Amino acid sequence: MESTKTFSVRFILRHTIANSSDAAIYCRISYDKKRAELSADRSIDPRCWNPEKQIATGSRELMNRINPHLEEIRFKLTECYYKLKTQNSYITAEAIKRLYTGEEKVTNSLLSLFEYHAINSREVLKWGTLKNYAATEKYIRRFLKERYRTDDIHLSELNYQFITQFDLFLRTTEPLESFNPLSNNGVMKHMERLRKVVTMGFKMEWIPKDPFLLYKLKFHRTEREFLLEEEIEALRNVKLKNAKLEKCRDIFLFACYTGLAYIDLVTLNASNILMGIDGELWLRTSRQKTDTKVSVPLLPQAIDILNNYKDRPELVKKSRVLPYISNQKMNDYLKEIATTCNIKKNVTFHVARHTFATTVTLNNGIPIETVSKMLGHTKLSTTQIYVHVLERKISDDMKQLKEKFRTKETPKLVAI
């Protein structure tokens, strides 16, 4: 069936030149009833313009300066249109314009769309987030090779079936890292990143329709692991076999008492430790993830840890207040320390942030609004996932209630 979508190029005048009676010539690209415009880099007296034929009239010099230039633009735009058509790309007036102006190469495949996203997000997204998008891209490459026997796929071929098949593939394939298998929520994070990239392509009119329209992300609610008071004390008092484990323990405990994420803690320096309005030491920094300012009054235990590493030459030289251990090594050491302390939980560095939010603050009566501010959350709903009511706190609250009831006189039964 012959397509009813039409392509055309017209030239129009716009009076945009300041202090001049001349008008600028603009090129209007039309395709499928949508338009895009670009400057023809020429101006003309409207009296010397034939709007029906879209050409300059008047002197030979004027016509030779303008008309061949306009014809060249028309010819090149037509070439761009046919190039997109022969490459089976999704055609729009904007796509034709972008190809003509050389703003970008033809983005007609899924992996080229990921490449475009990576290049244009470097100044916006943090390194860790870009790394996660790269991991999603690796899964897509593997999926295309195993399921479609190809290295790439045209954007026009993306549909609901492709999305659901990729979802199933993630649930059944070997993980990129053997020690980090994909859970349901891990699968959903990859699908979420794919959706963001594909939606970007759809909004920029590189994809004819949104293949995610009927797909719903389904995250499972999970309990956040955190340490109890006695487990924190066990960590503080345990005798460890070497200095590396001791440093790891100290850094982890400092995060338990401040709520800092790993990336924020490793960039901490002396300038982040300041005297607050109350005359006490505060920790002031900005979250790498959200660029949100964080202010936390330092607890005595956190100050003790800082004092333990104060004035050490190797730290002063690098402007650090705590030793550096890579995130992977940190998590390896924490598992060893947890085993030594007989802690049966999967202790990773992020458990420290959960511990600060629950055991250290919320369960000691700190209001959730204050905790949210100290964690650097931009939404209170984000903090609410950390709300855990410990059995010990329930017991303490009920003891207070029992005491109130004991002080009341037991009412006598009255015969009816």
**CATH number of the domain encompassing residue 294:** 1.10.443.10
Residue at 364 is within a domain: yes
- If you ran DSSP here, which 8-state letter would residue 318 be given? T
| Domain annotation covers residue 374 | yes
Task: Please tell me whether residues 189 and 260 are part of one structural domain.
Answer: no
Q: 141 with 256, same domain?
A: no
Q: Are residues 144 and 90 in the same domain?
A: no
The pLDDT value given to residue 2: 44
CB 356 within 8 A of CB 226: no
Contact present, 121 and 139 (Cβ < 8 Å): no
Asked whether 193 and 136 are in contact (CB, 8 A), the reply is yes
Q: Is residue 215 part of a domain?
A: no
Taking CA atoms, 40 is separated from 24, 76, 125, in Å, by 8, 12, 36
Query: Residue 270: enclosing H or E segment and its boundaries?
Result: none
Same domain, 114 and 68: no
Last residue of a domain, one of 101, 119, 135: 101
- Which amino acid does the sequence have at 266? V
Pick the closest to residue 45 from 18, 17, 23 (CA basis): 23
Domain containing residue 237: 229-390
Say if residue 241 is in the same domain as residue 339. yes
Per-10-residue mean pLDDT for the chain, 416 residues long? 75 74 91 90 91 91 93 94 80 85 69 89 82 94 91 86 95 87 93 95 84 92 83 92 93 93 87 89 85 88 92 84 90 93 91 91 87 84 71 74 73 59
Q: Is residue 140 exposed (0-12), middle (13-18) or buried (19+ Cβ within 10 Å)? A: buried
User: Which pLDDT value is given to residue 18?
Assistant: 57
Can you say whether the dihedral through the CA atoms of 362, 367, 373, 378 is positive or negative?
positive
Helix (H, G, I), strand (E, B) or coil at 37: strand
How far apart CA 171 and CA 186 sit, in angstroms, is 9
State the CB neighbour count (10 A cutoff) for residue 15: 12
CA dihedral angle for residue 21, residue 25, residue 30, residue 34, rounded to 10 degrees: -50
Are 245 and 307 members of one domain?
yes
Q: Are residues 91 and 117 in the same domain?
A: no
Kindly state whether residue 163 falls inside one of the protein's structural domains: yes
Structural domain includes residue 141: yes
- Count how many domains the chain has: 3
**Which residue carries 């479609």 as its tokens?**
148
**Which of residues 101, 119, 144 is at a domain's end?**
101
Do 130 and 90 lie in one domain? The reply is no
pLDDT at residue number 19 = 55
Residue 184: what residue type? Answer: N
Q: Where are the beta strands (DSSP E) in 300-383?
A: none
74 and 16 part of one domain: yes
What does the pLDDT read at residue 94?
83
- Residue 203 to residue 61: CA distance in whole angstroms: 44
Q: Is residue 55 part of a domain?
A: yes
- Claim to verify: residue 54 and residue 139 sit in the same structural domain: no
Cβ 49 vs Cβ 39: under 8 Å: no
Looking at the domain assignment, is residue 220 inside a domain?
A: no
Same domain assignment for residues 172 and 298: no
* 402 in any annotated domain: no
Identify whether residues 79 and 155 lie together within a single domain.
no
pLDDT at 194: 97
